[in-house]
Structure 1
Amino acid sequence: MKIWIDILTPKQALFFAPIAHDLTRRGHEVILTSRRYPEAEAVLRMLDLDAQTVGRHGGETLAGKLEASAERVLELARYVVEKAPEAAVCFASPECARVAFGLNIPLFCVNDSPHSEKVAKLTTPLANILFAPWVIPPSIWIGYGIPRDRIVVYRALDPAAWLKHDIKPKSEPKLTQLDHSKKIIAVRLEESQAYYLNPDNLRWTTSVIDSILNEASEATLLILSRNQTQREALKERYRDRLIILEAPYFGPTLLKSVDVFIGMGGTMTVESALLGVPTISAQRIGRLYTEEYLVKQGLILKPGSPEAVAKTAKEMLRDTKLRTQLETKAKRMLSRMEDPVEKIVSTIEAELSKPR
């Protein structure tokens, strides 16, 4: 069968790479689409995934997002009509969902982010099957308009998809900016262009960074930004007091090379914890069920204030046994998780074999 996968972000490139490989191995033809979005395009190149670029990211404004989404629906519709896939797969892509619905193509949607309510409302009701981690109560998805019998859960967190399959980049930039003679604290910034974030997030970000620079000055502070706007703002404020990584990077490799990871988003924080890296959550997105699970398991710490984040990072740097303990616990947890790739691919095949 011909199966179309829409990939919008770096996380989705990592998640769908083993799924695309497994579908191809099973004899299916896989069509990949993406959009103009530098971070995602860089990871697609590293993984040697041949995705057709259709449309663009909408930027920071609501009007820009709406216009870009509307344009992309039209461009995708023309492309998909030409390719004629028999199924569509996405990670809560509104454009993919709209096109699949309009062309009567079965839609298989993955989502671990119920906090992104508007995206969930635009995609969940249109899915033939919704795949999600088991830590998210099905009642959340039912509230977005899908019946329980169309929800398939996997007993894993999303990074297990690429960590269990040990996905490696075909090519990977050298991280020449890093000085490994000093301890490294990496901070992954929030997705400041996401609709669900509040405008005061920059104040929170700078408060966290200021606290780390004051409390743990012996370490190198590495900033993993999301876009050019963030990079320019932090360069102007901090000059040479920290390193802002501008070159593309492969997340799993980078995480293994840092001593403490502080996440202001979701996926990379979970990935860091599952790799056994000392991990702190400083996100203010809202309730993240995946993060809550790892906090309860002792793989993520979640201090409440910028000062507490910095003090916790300093304590982690000084605990010489912590990394080994966390790696042992994380390895055991990952080994016990279900393989999301096998669950998703097998379910798609089973659903497509049913008479329509």
Structure 2
Amino acid sequence: MTGGRTAHGAGGDGLRVWVDITNSPHVVIFRPLIERLRARGCEVVVTAREFAQTIGLLERFGIEHVSVGAHGGGSRRGKARAMAGRSAALARFARRERFDLAVAHGSTDQPLAARLAGTPQVTMFDYEFAAAMHHWNGRLATRVLVPSAISEAALAPYGIRPPKLVRYPGLKEEYYLADHAMDDGVLAELGLDPDRLVAVLRPPPEVTLYHRGASTDLFGRTLERLLAEPGVQVVVLPRTAEQRAALAGGAAIVPVRPVDGPSLVAAADLVVSAGGTMNREAAALGVPAYTPFAARLGAVDRRLIEEGRLRRLEHAGDVVLERRPRAAAPPLRDPEVLIDLILGATPATLPLS
């Protein structure tokens, strides 16, 4: 389905909603949701953290925002210091702005800041094994939204249970991509030949705690294999400045500025991502996707593998190099469902505790 206003229960007129965006994929996630919140009469204010291509993507899509803080790097101490400083700054901001509702996807800062400011907060995530984050955010959030593939039992150890816990069908990508206007010029923007095979790769999240200690050699071997294939155009979307520097001067195509990720995925023949969002976007759009994710696979990815919509990459040679048929994308879901769930967490319907 495509976007379009439908009749739903939760309102929004006059609510001041605070959206916190802390990572590049969250820009694409919230862009259509922000528009729909505003269509319901909400006033939406966006804060953002300097990390990866987050600020660049917000600027590309014309999303006004207030930049607050930066990523703390790879160490636990750095992360803790950055989180404490940013949470304190956000709490001051929220107290001053007096929001009715806060919402974020995987933000480690907003739940604490919202609690300190007395603002109901909605946390979204789709990977259940980020234990440190969930023990903290799950207890502070007013409502937690996750895909139904994640069981109640998996989140109970974090203190996340109904009615705080709300599980929705499908993938979040199937909701926000329904509103995404695909950019047909994305291949030309990167100097790619539309008649040759396009492989899009996303490196491991090397500064993510839940990924620490897991082997990332498989991604490197896969990249080398694809670069050695003369008929393959390889686009790599680095997460960090260090990854970008390591790719400089090589044969891979590395965009010099943030690109429209979903449009690139939709135009690609295959995706290899060591994270999650890009693989799930590919699955939602019917594009072959491979995960070399070396940490513990979450329930969402396990279900996609069972359904044949995602493939577990175990050897560099597992990637099938062939042009995919440009058939119509699979049906997507109504984004208003997520809007209803987000707006359900208002003072009139949910307690702060």
**TM-score scaled by structure 2?**
0.86
Q: Secondary structure at the match of 1:146?
A: coil
Q: How far, CA to CA, are the matches of 1:354 and 1:186 in structure 2?
A: 43
1:342 pairs with one of 336, 347, 351: 336
Q: Contact 1:278–1:323 at 8 Å: present in 2 too?
A: no
Q: Secondary structure at the match of 1:191?
A: coil
Equivalent residues in 2 for 1:86-235 (5 A)? 86-167=100-181, 175-199=189-213, 201-214=215-228, 216-235=229-248
Q: Contact 2:101–2:345 at 8 Å: present in 1 too?
A: no
Q: Contact 1:8–1:34 at 8 Å: present in 2 too?
A: yes
Q: In structure 2, do the counterparts of structure 1 residues 77 and 303 end up closer, same or farther at CA, with 3 Å as the change threshold? A: closer
Q: Secondary structure at the match of 2:48?
A: strand
Q: Contact 1:58–1:67 at 8 Å: present in 2 too?
A: yes
Q: How far, CA to CA, are the matches of 2:226 and 2:343 in structure 1?
A: 49
Q: Contact 2:143–2:164 at 8 Å: present in 1 too?
A: yes
Q: In structure 2, do the counterparts of structure 1 residues 173 and 227 end up closer, same or farther at CA, with 3 Å as the change threshold? A: farther
1:59 aligns with 2:73: yes
Q: In structure 2, do the counterparts of structure 1 residues 35 and 233 end up closer, same or farther at CA, with 3 Å as the change threshold? A: same
Q: How far, CA to CA, are the matches of 1:37 and 1:101 in structure 2?
A: 24
Q: Contact 1:277–1:323 at 8 Å: present in 2 too?
A: no
Q: How far, CA to CA, are the matches of 2:350 and 2:168 in structure 1?
A: 25
Q: How far, CA to CA, are the matches of 2:234 and 2:145 in structure 1?
A: 37
Q: How far, CA to CA, are the matches of 1:56 and 1:242 in structure 2?
A: 28
After TM superposition, give the deviation of residue 260 of structure 1 in Å.
1.7
Per-residue CA deviations over 1:242-266 (Å, capped at 9, x if unaligned) read 3223321001111122222111110
Q: Contact 1:184–1:260 at 8 Å: present in 2 too?
A: yes
- Tell me which amino acid in the other structure corresponds to 1:186: V
2:315 pairs with one of 305, 315, 321: 305
After TM superposition, give the deviation of residue 135 of structure 1 in Å.
0.9
Further displaced range: 74-83 or 9-18:
9-18
After TM superposition, give the deviation of residue 220 of structure 1 in Å.
1.9
Q: How far, CA to CA, are the matches of 2:170 and 2:222 in structure 1?
A: 30
1:80 pairs with one of 85, 89, 94: 94
Q: Secondary structure at the match of 1:254?
A: helix
Q: Contact 2:32–2:176 at 8 Å: present in 1 too?
A: yes
Q: Contact 2:175–2:338 at 8 Å: present in 1 too?
A: no
Aligned-residue Cα RMSD (Å) equals: 2.4
In structure 1, what is the equivalent of residue 11 of structure 2?
Answer: none
In structure 1, what is the equivalent of residue 3 of structure 2?
Answer: none
Q: In structure 2, do the counterparts of structure 1 residues 158 and 139 end up closer, same or farther at CA, with 3 Å as the change threshold? A: same
- Tell me which amino acid in the other structure corresponds to 1:313: V
After TM superposition, give the deviation of residue 351 of structure 1 in Å.
4.1
Q: Contact 1:86–1:106 at 8 Å: present in 2 too?
A: yes
Q: How far, CA to CA, are the matches of 2:199 and 2:28 in structure 1?
A: 23
RCO higher in 1 or 2 (8 Å CA, sep ≥ 6)? 2
Q: In structure 2, do the counterparts of structure 1 residues 259 and 92 end up closer, same or farther at CA, with 3 Å as the change threshold? A: closer
Q: In structure 2, do the counterparts of structure 1 residues 19 and 257 end up closer, same or farther at CA, with 3 Å as the change threshold? A: closer
Q: Contact 1:130–1:152 at 8 Å: present in 2 too?
A: yes
In structure 2, what is the equivalent of residue 354 of structure 1?
Answer: 349
Q: In structure 2, do the counterparts of structure 1 residues 211 and 41 end up closer, same or farther at CA, with 3 Å as the change threshold? A: same
- Tell me which amino acid in the other structure corresponds to 1:252: P
Q: How far, CA to CA, are the matches of 2:208 and 2:51 in structure 1?
A: 13
Per-residue CA deviations over 1:17-52 (Å, capped at 9, x if unaligned) read 222222222222211111122411122122221111
Q: Contact 1:115–1:285 at 8 Å: present in 2 too?
A: no
- Tell me which amino acid in the other structure corresponds to 2:112: R
- Tell me which amino acid in the other structure corresponds to 1:283: F
Unpaired runs of 5+ residues, structure 2, are 1-14
After TM superposition, give the deviation of residue 301 of structure 1 in Å.
2.0
